[in-house]
Amino acid sequence: MVSRTLLVPQGEFELSRIPDVELLQAWDAADEFILNHIDDIQVLSRHRKLLILNDAFGALSVALANYPVYAWSDSFLAQRALRANLVANGYPVEQVKTNVDIGFPTAAVDLVVIKIPKTLALLEHQLYALRPILHHDSKIFAAGMARHIHSSTLELFETILGPTTTTRARKKSRLIMVERDHLLNEGQSRFPDYYELEVDRNYRIANHASLFSRDRLDQGSRLLIEHMPIAEAYRRIVDLGCGNGVIGMIAASLNPRAELLFCDESHMAIASARENFAAAFGSSREAEFRVDDCLQGVADASQDLVLLNPPFHQQHNIGDMIAWQMFRDARRVLVDGGELQIVGNRHLAYHAKLKKLFGNCETVASNNKFVILRSIKNPVNNHRL
């Protein structure tokens, strides 16, 4: 069993992950490094505004919750974990302010704490977004596990914010200290960026900074699009884990009478999907866009078809827990006779999971890397839920 109690100079905190994975802790050595350093240099006061970026499960924000903290995250799951951990440690959920979409805070901040995100592009975007809200005395610290900090990471800090130094590794984590150079040329984030996609017609696909397969269509998604199911019976189609929404957009185009629902736990994914759908269909088509954990807020037995290219990472960790939750949710929201169609890497062995859950699973198509699988919700198997 891993520890659930974080012991740092700020106090003792009970912390869990979402989803809760028995062998994984809700914080890492980089969080401890930051909290110890902040205590050493005594930079906090109740009047100094703190911005925390990419806090994984709320460890930093909960430990610093007695100060005015704004926690910005692209991940709805991270935000849910933060809320749960605030409550578990006796704070109201409003104790820490959080973003509701991709918008960045606009008021000046005194201290910025950055956990290095998995996507370097997200860090780049965040550093540009920070520039206008830093003042001459603002302090900036970042930290991450040493294996996630490369020379390209440090270069980003240097070129966008100013002189950057790092500490030696402690428990395999490193601290980065940055000074804002106010004489650096102004510049701005290059995100969202765009690529062109030719399917039944030409689409211009916007991608905000944190997106999966940001510069081209993923090969698995391409296979799914090439075998897009088309039927009159599909009136409600879900693009689950929609990313930039390409799968749902092509489904909408080839099933012109269907209503589309786009779901993702990333605020930037939903912003990209919304922008791409509007660019493709204008006001001629309406769709729903949900930032959610899998399909939590979606009614049972309400959808005809769920399309999915499942994630195999949560932050820096690999696992299939989220994919498994997505399969279960898909089954719950499908009407009887409704279909789940997924694409996955051949080695991920989703076939056995779907067979177990739905009682059936057929291969629709495959190539040397990916396979498309289809399961149908059959009332006979309702006991399997």
Ligand X SMILES: C[S@@+](CC[C@H](N)C(=O)[O-])C[C@H]1O[C@@H](n2cnc3c(N)ncnc32)[C@H](O)[C@@H]1O
Is 276 an interacting residue with respect to ligand X (CB under 6 A)? no
How many other C-beta atoms can be found within 10 angstroms of the C-beta atom of residue 252?
22
> Please, which residues bridge with residue 305 across strands?
237, 339
Q: How far is the CB of 246 from ligand X (least distance, A)?
A: 6
The beta strand positions in 36-81, using DSSP E, are 50-53, 69-72
Is 205 an interacting residue with respect to ligand X (CB under 6 A)? no
Is 311 an interacting residue with respect to ligand X (CB under 6 A)? yes
In whole angstroms, give the CA distance from residue 302 to residue 334: 6
The answer to whether 161 and 180 have CB atoms below 8 angstroms apart is yes
Give DSSP secondary structure letters for 248-261.
HHHHHHHSTT-EEE
Q: How far is the CB of 75 from ligand X (least distance, A)?
A: 8
Is 117 an interacting residue with respect to ligand X (CB under 6 A)? no
Q: Smaller CB distance to ligand X: residue 95 or 126?
A: 126
Is 265 an interacting residue with respect to ligand X (CB under 6 A)? yes
Tell me if residue 171 falls in helix, strand or coil.
coil
Please name which of 71, 76, 81 lies closest in space to residue 50, comparing C-alpha atoms.
71
Both ends of the chain: CA-CA distance in Å?
A: 28
How many other C-beta atoms can be found within 10 angstroms of the C-beta atom of residue 188?
10
Is 329 an interacting residue with respect to ligand X (CB under 6 A)? no
Is 238 an interacting residue with respect to ligand X (CB under 6 A)? no
In whole angstroms, give the CA distance from residue 223 to residue 246: 12
What is the CB-side half-sphere exposure of residue 264 using CA atoms within 13 A? 30
Question: Out of 110, 264, 304, 339, which residue is the one contacting ligand X (CB under 6 A)?
Answer: 264
In whole angstroms, give the CA distance from residue 246 to residue 206: 10
In the region spanning residues 156 to 185, those forming contacts with ligand X, defined by CB under 6 A, are none
Is 213 an interacting residue with respect to ligand X (CB under 6 A)? yes
Is 293 an interacting residue with respect to ligand X (CB under 6 A)? yes
> Please, which residues bridge with residue 13 across strands?
6
Q: How far is the CB of 28 from ligand X (least distance, A)?
A: 19
Handedness of CA 208, 209, 210, 215 (dihedral sign): positive
Q: Smaller CB distance to ligand X: residue 58 or 241?
A: 241
How many other C-beta atoms can be found within 10 angstroms of the C-beta atom of residue 2?
10
In whole angstroms, give the CA distance from residue 132 to residue 172: 32
In whole angstroms, give the CA distance from residue 38 to residue 69: 14
Q: Smaller CB distance to ligand X: residue 129 or 246?
A: 246
In the region spanning residues 243 to 262, those forming contacts with ligand X, defined by CB under 6 A, are 243, 246-247
Is 294 an interacting residue with respect to ligand X (CB under 6 A)? yes
Is 207 an interacting residue with respect to ligand X (CB under 6 A)? no
Question: Out of 104, 212, 281, 324, which residue is the one contacting ligand X (CB under 6 A)?
Answer: 212
Q: How far is the CB of 237 from ligand X (least distance, A)?
A: 13
Is 242 an interacting residue with respect to ligand X (CB under 6 A)? yes
Q: How far is the CB of 371 from ligand X (least distance, A)?
A: 14
Q: Smaller CB distance to ligand X: residue 65 or 237?
A: 237
Q: How far is the CB of 121 from ligand X (least distance, A)?
A: 14
Stretch that binds ligand X, among 2-10, 36-44, 201-209, 235-243 (CB under 6 A): 235-243
Stretch that binds ligand X, among 59-67, 179-187, 240-248, 368-376 (CB under 6 A): 240-248
Handedness of CA 183, 184, 185, 189 (dihedral sign): negative
Is 229 an interacting residue with respect to ligand X (CB under 6 A)? no
In the region spanning residues 30 to 89, those forming contacts with ligand X, defined by CB under 6 A, are 77
Number of residues interacting with ligand X: please give it, by CB under 6 A: 20
In whole angstroms, give the CA distance from residue 304 to residue 238: 8
Is 241 an interacting residue with respect to ligand X (CB under 6 A)? yes
Question: Out of 34, 113, 238, 263, which residue is the one contacting ligand X (CB under 6 A)?
Answer: 263
In whole angstroms, give the CA distance from residue 95 to residue 86: 8
The residue ranges that bind ligand X (CB under 6 A) are 77, 212-213, 218, 221, 241-243, 246-247, 263-266, 269, 293-294, 309, 311, 322
